[in-house]
Amino acid sequence: MFKGSNVALITPFRENKLDEESYIKLIHFQIKNGTNGLVPAGTTGESPTLSHAEHERIIDLCIQEAKGKIPVIAGTGSNSTAEAISLTVHAEKAGANAALIVTPYYNKPTQEGLYQHYKAINDRCGIPIIIYNIPGRSVVDMSVDTMARLYELKNIVGVKDATGNLDRVDQQLKKMGKDFIQLTGNDDNALEFNQRGGIGSISVTANIAPKLCSDFQKFSISNDVNEKKEAKILDKILQPVHYSMFVESNPSPVKFAAKLMNLCEDEVRLPLVKVTENTKVIIKKALQSAKLIK
Protein backbone atom coordinates (compact mmCIF):
# COMPACT_ATOMS: atom_id res chain seq x y z
CA MET A 1 0.00 0.00 0.00
CA PHE A 2 2.77 2.47 0.88
CA LYS A 3 5.00 2.81 -2.16
CA GLY A 4 5.70 5.10 -5.09
CA SER A 5 5.40 8.86 -4.82
CA ASN A 6 3.94 10.03 -1.53
CA VAL A 7 3.74 13.78 -1.14
CA ALA A 8 4.84 15.55 2.05
CA LEU A 9 2.04 18.09 1.81
CA ILE A 10 2.71 21.74 2.54
CA THR A 11 0.21 23.57 4.73
CA PRO A 12 -1.03 26.75 3.04
CA PHE A 13 -1.52 29.85 5.19
CA ARG A 14 -3.22 33.16 4.52
CA GLU A 15 -2.67 35.95 7.04
CA ASN A 16 -1.17 33.33 9.39
CA LYS A 17 -4.33 31.21 9.37
CA LEU A 18 -4.96 27.88 7.66
CA ASP A 19 -5.99 28.41 4.06
CA GLU A 20 -8.38 25.48 3.78
CA GLU A 21 -9.49 26.35 0.26
CA SER A 22 -5.94 26.17 -1.09
CA TYR A 23 -5.21 23.05 0.95
CA ILE A 24 -8.14 21.21 -0.60
CA LYS A 25 -7.01 22.44 -4.03
CA LEU A 26 -3.54 20.98 -3.39
CA ILE A 27 -4.98 17.61 -2.37
CA HIS A 28 -7.05 17.29 -5.54
CA PHE A 29 -4.10 18.47 -7.65
CA GLN A 30 -2.14 15.54 -6.20
CA ILE A 31 -4.85 12.95 -6.74
CA LYS A 32 -5.46 14.13 -10.31
CA ASN A 33 -1.75 13.81 -11.15
CA GLY A 34 -1.18 10.28 -9.96
CA THR A 35 0.37 10.74 -6.53
CA ASN A 36 0.37 7.42 -4.66
CA GLY A 37 -0.12 8.74 -1.13
CA LEU A 38 -0.77 11.90 0.89
CA VAL A 39 1.26 12.87 3.96
CA PRO A 40 -0.43 15.73 5.83
CA ALA A 41 0.94 17.45 8.94
CA GLY A 42 4.51 16.30 8.55
CA THR A 43 7.49 18.56 9.08
CA THR A 44 7.17 19.88 5.50
CA GLY A 45 3.65 20.80 6.60
CA GLU A 46 5.24 22.93 9.34
CA SER A 47 3.86 20.69 12.09
CA PRO A 48 6.05 22.25 14.83
CA THR A 49 4.21 25.56 14.42
CA LEU A 50 0.69 24.17 14.07
CA SER A 51 -1.66 24.30 17.04
CA HIS A 52 -3.13 20.95 18.10
CA ALA A 53 -6.46 21.98 16.59
CA GLU A 54 -4.82 22.91 13.29
CA HIS A 55 -2.78 19.71 13.22
CA GLU A 56 -5.87 17.58 13.70
CA ARG A 57 -7.88 19.68 11.25
CA ILE A 58 -5.51 19.23 8.32
CA ILE A 59 -5.36 15.47 8.92
CA ASP A 60 -9.17 15.34 9.03
CA LEU A 61 -9.49 17.45 5.87
CA CYS A 62 -6.96 15.34 3.98
CA ILE A 63 -8.77 12.10 4.85
CA GLN A 64 -12.09 13.68 3.97
CA GLU A 65 -10.93 14.92 0.56
CA ALA A 66 -8.97 11.78 -0.34
CA LYS A 67 -12.16 9.74 0.06
CA GLY A 68 -10.15 6.53 0.18
CA LYS A 69 -8.79 7.01 -3.35
CA ILE A 70 -5.18 6.93 -2.15
CA PRO A 71 -3.64 6.27 1.29
CA VAL A 72 -3.23 9.00 3.88
CA ILE A 73 -0.10 8.73 6.02
CA ALA A 74 -0.65 11.26 8.79
CA GLY A 75 2.30 13.07 10.32
CA THR A 76 1.89 12.57 14.06
CA GLY A 77 5.41 12.96 15.40
CA SER A 78 6.57 15.07 18.31
CA ASN A 79 9.49 15.28 20.71
CA SER A 80 6.91 14.68 23.43
CA THR A 81 5.87 11.03 23.53
CA ALA A 82 2.50 11.88 25.09
CA GLU A 83 1.78 14.38 22.32
CA ALA A 84 2.79 11.90 19.61
CA ILE A 85 0.46 9.31 21.13
CA SER A 86 -2.42 11.81 21.23
CA LEU A 87 -1.91 12.84 17.60
CA THR A 88 -1.58 9.23 16.43
CA VAL A 89 -4.73 8.13 18.26
CA HIS A 90 -6.60 11.03 16.66
CA ALA A 91 -5.31 10.14 13.18
CA GLU A 92 -6.38 6.53 13.62
CA LYS A 93 -9.88 7.52 14.73
CA ALA A 94 -10.13 9.94 11.79
CA GLY A 95 -9.39 7.12 9.34
CA ALA A 96 -5.71 7.58 8.43
CA ASN A 97 -4.10 4.57 6.79
CA ALA A 98 -0.79 5.01 8.63
CA ALA A 99 1.22 7.40 10.78
CA LEU A 100 4.59 8.97 9.96
CA ILE A 101 6.46 9.61 13.21
CA VAL A 102 9.69 11.58 13.28
CA THR A 103 12.51 10.74 15.69
CA PRO A 104 12.23 13.13 18.66
CA TYR A 105 14.13 16.34 18.03
CA TYR A 106 16.07 18.43 20.59
CA ASN A 107 15.76 15.86 23.44
CA LYS A 108 18.58 13.72 21.97
CA PRO A 109 17.32 10.38 23.32
CA THR A 110 19.56 7.33 23.43
CA GLN A 111 18.82 4.30 21.25
CA GLU A 112 16.89 2.82 24.18
CA GLY A 113 14.97 6.10 24.51
CA LEU A 114 14.09 5.96 20.80
CA TYR A 115 12.91 2.38 21.17
CA GLN A 116 10.72 3.17 24.18
CA HIS A 117 9.28 6.28 22.47
CA TYR A 118 8.08 4.31 19.45
CA LYS A 119 7.02 1.33 21.54
CA ALA A 120 4.80 3.57 23.67
CA ILE A 121 3.09 4.90 20.56
CA ASN A 122 2.86 1.43 19.04
CA ASP A 123 1.16 0.09 22.17
CA ARG A 124 -1.53 2.77 22.06
CA CYS A 125 -2.58 2.55 18.40
CA GLY A 126 -3.65 0.05 15.77
CA ILE A 127 -2.44 1.58 12.50
CA PRO A 128 0.87 1.06 10.68
CA ILE A 129 3.72 3.30 11.81
CA ILE A 130 6.50 4.54 9.53
CA ILE A 131 9.62 5.73 11.35
CA TYR A 132 11.01 9.02 10.06
CA ASN A 133 14.77 9.00 10.54
CA ILE A 134 16.25 12.43 9.80
CA PRO A 135 19.39 13.05 11.86
CA GLY A 136 20.11 16.32 10.03
CA ARG A 137 17.08 17.90 11.70
CA SER A 138 16.44 15.82 14.82
CA VAL A 139 20.13 15.43 15.79
CA VAL A 140 19.58 11.73 16.61
CA ASP A 141 20.14 8.83 14.23
CA MET A 142 18.20 5.64 14.81
CA SER A 143 20.52 2.68 14.33
CA VAL A 144 19.63 -0.25 12.11
CA ASP A 145 19.64 -2.50 15.19
CA THR A 146 17.12 -0.28 17.00
CA MET A 147 14.96 -0.21 13.89
CA ALA A 148 15.09 -4.01 13.74
CA ARG A 149 13.93 -4.22 17.36
CA LEU A 150 11.03 -1.91 16.58
CA TYR A 151 10.10 -3.91 13.49
CA GLU A 152 9.26 -6.81 15.81
CA LEU A 153 6.37 -4.74 17.21
CA LYS A 154 2.91 -5.13 15.69
CA ASN A 155 2.54 -1.71 14.03
CA ILE A 156 6.06 -0.73 12.87
CA VAL A 157 6.17 -1.34 9.12
CA GLY A 158 8.93 0.77 7.61
CA VAL A 159 11.08 3.87 7.46
CA LYS A 160 11.26 7.21 5.74
CA ASP A 161 15.04 7.36 5.46
CA ALA A 162 16.46 10.87 5.26
CA THR A 163 19.96 10.00 6.44
CA GLY A 164 21.33 10.54 2.93
CA ASN A 165 23.37 7.36 3.42
CA LEU A 166 22.44 4.94 0.65
CA ASP A 167 24.28 2.11 2.39
CA ARG A 168 21.46 2.18 4.95
CA VAL A 169 19.11 0.77 2.31
CA ASP A 170 21.31 -2.32 1.98
CA GLN A 171 21.80 -2.64 5.73
CA GLN A 172 18.10 -2.31 6.50
CA LEU A 173 17.17 -4.73 3.72
CA LYS A 174 19.63 -7.30 5.06
CA LYS A 175 18.48 -6.88 8.67
CA MET A 176 14.69 -6.56 8.23
CA GLY A 177 14.00 -8.18 4.85
CA LYS A 178 12.11 -7.04 1.78
CA ASP A 179 8.77 -6.67 3.56
CA PHE A 180 10.16 -3.76 5.60
CA ILE A 181 9.02 -0.66 3.70
CA GLN A 182 11.85 1.69 2.75
CA LEU A 183 10.89 5.14 1.47
CA THR A 184 13.47 7.84 0.85
CA GLY A 185 13.06 11.29 2.32
CA ASN A 186 15.68 12.68 -0.07
CA ASP A 187 14.25 13.35 -3.52
CA ASP A 188 17.69 13.67 -5.06
CA ASN A 189 18.78 10.10 -4.22
CA ALA A 190 15.50 8.36 -5.11
CA LEU A 191 16.82 6.61 -8.21
CA GLU A 192 19.66 4.76 -6.49
CA PHE A 193 17.60 4.33 -3.32
CA ASN A 194 15.05 2.30 -5.30
CA GLN A 195 17.74 0.42 -7.19
CA ARG A 196 19.10 -0.77 -3.84
CA GLY A 197 15.75 -1.99 -2.55
CA GLY A 198 13.62 1.03 -1.73
CA ILE A 199 10.06 1.18 -3.01
CA GLY A 200 9.30 4.88 -3.08
CA SER A 201 9.60 8.29 -1.49
CA ILE A 202 7.93 10.80 0.75
CA SER A 203 8.61 13.77 -1.44
CA VAL A 204 8.82 17.55 -1.14
CA THR A 205 9.14 18.07 -4.91
CA ALA A 206 5.89 16.14 -5.48
CA ASN A 207 4.01 19.17 -4.11
CA ILE A 208 4.72 20.98 -7.38
CA ALA A 209 5.62 18.15 -9.79
CA PRO A 210 3.27 15.30 -8.85
CA LYS A 211 3.01 13.79 -12.33
CA LEU A 212 6.77 13.80 -12.95
CA CYS A 213 7.41 12.33 -9.50
CA SER A 214 4.74 9.64 -9.73
CA ASP A 215 5.86 8.62 -13.24
CA PHE A 216 9.49 8.57 -12.10
CA GLN A 217 8.67 6.35 -9.13
CA LYS A 218 6.58 3.98 -11.23
CA PHE A 219 9.35 3.56 -13.79
CA SER A 220 12.17 3.36 -11.24
CA ILE A 221 10.71 0.30 -9.49
CA SER A 222 9.69 -1.38 -12.75
CA ASN A 223 11.44 -4.49 -14.07
CA ASP A 224 10.98 -3.28 -17.64
CA VAL A 225 14.27 -2.17 -19.24
CA ASN A 226 12.67 0.67 -21.22
CA GLU A 227 10.83 1.99 -18.18
CA LYS A 228 14.05 1.96 -16.18
CA LYS A 229 15.61 4.10 -18.93
CA GLU A 230 12.65 6.45 -18.73
CA ALA A 231 13.20 6.74 -14.97
CA LYS A 232 16.76 7.94 -15.59
CA ILE A 233 15.51 10.55 -18.06
CA LEU A 234 12.92 11.83 -15.58
CA ASP A 235 15.52 11.84 -12.80
CA LYS A 236 17.72 14.21 -14.84
CA ILE A 237 14.75 16.50 -15.46
CA LEU A 238 13.87 16.53 -11.76
CA GLN A 239 17.34 17.00 -10.26
CA PRO A 240 17.46 20.82 -10.72
CA VAL A 241 14.01 21.05 -9.14
CA HIS A 242 15.07 18.86 -6.21
CA TYR A 243 18.13 21.06 -5.69
CA SER A 244 16.11 24.29 -5.77
CA MET A 245 13.73 23.01 -3.08
CA PHE A 246 16.54 23.00 -0.52
CA VAL A 247 18.53 26.14 -1.34
CA GLU A 248 16.90 27.54 1.80
CA SER A 249 15.12 25.80 4.66
CA ASN A 250 12.20 23.60 3.65
CA PRO A 251 9.34 24.38 3.04
CA SER A 252 9.99 28.03 2.12
CA PRO A 253 11.29 27.19 -1.39
CA VAL A 254 8.49 24.76 -2.26
CA LYS A 255 5.90 27.25 -1.07
CA PHE A 256 7.35 29.90 -3.37
CA ALA A 257 7.27 27.36 -6.21
CA ALA A 258 3.64 26.58 -5.38
CA LYS A 259 2.84 30.29 -5.56
CA LEU A 260 4.43 30.49 -9.03
CA MET A 261 2.07 27.69 -10.05
CA ASN A 262 -0.97 29.44 -8.51
CA LEU A 263 -1.50 26.64 -6.01
CA CYS A 264 -1.26 28.71 -2.82
CA GLU A 265 0.50 31.67 -1.23
CA ASP A 266 4.16 31.41 -0.18
CA GLU A 267 3.42 32.36 3.42
CA VAL A 268 5.35 30.45 6.10
CA ARG A 269 5.30 30.71 9.87
CA LEU A 270 8.12 32.11 11.97
CA PRO A 271 10.85 31.23 12.61
CA LEU A 272 10.77 30.40 8.88
CA VAL A 273 10.68 33.30 6.42
CA LYS A 274 10.04 33.64 2.70
CA VAL A 275 12.92 32.93 0.33
CA THR A 276 15.34 35.62 -0.83
CA GLU A 277 15.34 37.17 -4.29
CA ASN A 278 18.41 35.16 -5.31
CA THR A 279 16.68 31.91 -4.35
CA LYS A 280 13.56 32.94 -6.26
CA VAL A 281 15.67 33.15 -9.44
CA ILE A 282 17.04 29.63 -8.87
CA ILE A 283 13.57 28.21 -8.27
CA LYS A 284 12.06 29.90 -11.32
CA LYS A 285 14.83 28.57 -13.58
CA ALA A 286 14.44 25.05 -12.18
CA LEU A 287 10.68 25.05 -12.71
CA GLN A 288 11.10 26.38 -16.22
CA SER A 289 13.70 23.72 -17.06
CA ALA A 290 11.19 21.03 -16.02
CA LYS A 291 8.41 22.83 -17.95
CA LEU A 292 6.35 23.30 -14.80
CA ILE A 293 5.99 27.00 -15.57
CA LYS A 294 6.64 29.06 -18.72
- Pairing assessment for the beta strands 37-39 and 73-75 based on DSSP bridges: unpaired
- Residue pair 175/186 in contact (Cβ under 8 Å)? The answer is no
Name which of 88, 91, 72 is nearest 6 in CA terms: 72
- Cβ atoms of residues 234 and 240 within 8 Å: no
User: How far is the C-alpha of 41 from the C-alpha of 91, rounded, in Å?
Assistant: 11
Task: Confirm whether 118 is a catalytic residue.
Answer: no
CA–CA separation, 230 and 250 (whole Å): 28
Beta-bridged to residue 8, according to DSSP, are 39
Active-site pick, 3, 132, 218, 255: 132
Residue tagged active-site, from 23, 118, 151, 160:
160
Active site residue 132: yes
Buried b (16+ CB within 10 A) or exposed e, 15-52: eeebbeebbebbbebbbebbbbbbbbbbbbbbbebbee
DSSP string, 194-259: HHTT--EEEESGGGT-HHHHHHHHHHHT---HHHHHHHHHHHHHHHHHHHHTTSSSTTHHHHHHHH
Backbone angles phi, psi at 149, to 5 degrees: -60, -45
The interaxial angle of helices 252-260 and 277-289, nearest 10 deg, is: 60
Which sequence positions are flagged as catalytic?
132, 160
